[in-house]
Amino acid sequence: MLAVAEDYPSKPVRLIEPFGKSGGPDLLARPLAKQLSALWGQTVTVENITGAGATAGPAQVAKSPADGYTLLLNTSAQAYSAVFAKGLPYDPLTDFIPIMPLTSQPYVLVTSYSTGVTTIGELIAAAKAKPGQLKFGSTGVGTGTHLGLEKFNLAAGIKTVHSPAGPTEGIGDVVAHNVAGDTTYMMAPISIVLPEIAKRKLRALGVSGIRRSPLLPGVPTIAEAGVAGFNFPIWYGVWVPSGTPARVVDKLVKDIKRVLAGRDLRDWICEHGSEPMNMTQPEFTSFVRSEAEAAAQIMKAATLKAK
């Protein structure tokens, strides 16, 4: 095992993401894979394994050999699924080693132009006028797109109906449903909804971070728009199966940190409305657990049940 760790990687590496082509993890996985391929002299292939509420991909990684040749690139949903998802064939916390975070970016709270809603204040007023009638979309129960809006609803004091994507749908389907007016509002990563905002198919009501995005400078933060203190970014990271040798983990940490520090990938990250995250591997491990605990608090406050 020691020899294998020392010459890692000596063969192609799989980088699995669970949200599908053109989703946020896929958009990030491809330039990351390209940079790692160049660094290692080995092919790093991105595989889109979707379904089961974005848990099919992690399930595939969890049952893969713990040798560093199958990596998972996931969002904050990796932490949230530890709370929301029952009956998974893996434990999102104990069956993986968090390697390191990659980036953080705001979600954008959007609505279709057909709703006539132009501000967050108007959205809240519409929801209060028709309690339990408005619908919000998400990529699935327990995902960041779901949890963020549950947190928003609690903070805004509104009750609306969750309309999650089906088992084979991805973020693109959720965006399409919102454009068609099937839901009143949703949250999605800025990199995903920016084209629909530019085409005036979706209206941006607010961004979920603590400051405005340079990609949407005219759009207020949700906190600025009246939901005081609101902050709920999406973050991305890399995991490997538990049992992966420490030397392989250390090399992954060092090499991913190296390519993230490179100008090409840093520029790409900034151009897509993201910010690099800087944590050690132990810090990231603690961070993932704290995010799961925060999700549990929202789940309790919103009286949600695991599924």
- Asked, for residue 177, whether it belongs to a domain, the answer is yes
Same domain, 161 and 255: no
Q: Using the Cα atoms of residue 185, residue 186, residue 190 and residue 192 in order, give the sign of their dihedral.
A: negative
Same domain, 100 and 140: no
CATH number at residue 262: 3.40.190.150
Same domain, 92 and 43: yes
Sorted by sequence, the CB contacts under 8 Å of residue 111 that are 6+ apart come out as 117, 123, 178, 184, 185, 186, 202, 203, 205
Task: Write down the pLDDT at residue 80.
Answer: 92
- Asked, for residue 14, whether it belongs to a domain, the answer is yes
Task: Write down the pLDDT at residue 208.
Answer: 97
Domain that holds residue 89: 2-105+234-301
Task: Write down the pLDDT at residue 141.
Answer: 79
Residue with tokens 């629909």: 196
**pLDDT tens figures, 15-32:** 999 988 877 889 899 999
CA distance 299 to 307: 12
- Asked, for residue 227, whether it belongs to a domain, the answer is no
- As a whole number of Å, the CA-based R_g of the chain is 19
**pLDDT tens figures, 123-159:** 999 999 999 999 999 887 788 889 999 999 999 999 9
- For the chain, residues with pLDDT lower than 70 are 1-6, 166-171, 307
Task: Write down the pLDDT at residue 28.
Answer: 93
Side-chain half-sphere exposure of 97, counting CA atoms within 13 A: 22
- Asked, for residue 306, whether it belongs to a domain, the answer is no
Task: Show the tokens assigned to 12.
Answer: 């192609």
Same domain, 7 and 82: yes
For residue 206, list its beta bridge partners.
Answer: 109
Number of domains within the chain: 2
Same domain, 95 and 241: yes
Sorted by sequence, the CB contacts under 8 Å of residue 129 that are 6+ apart come out as none
The amino acid sitting at 131 is P
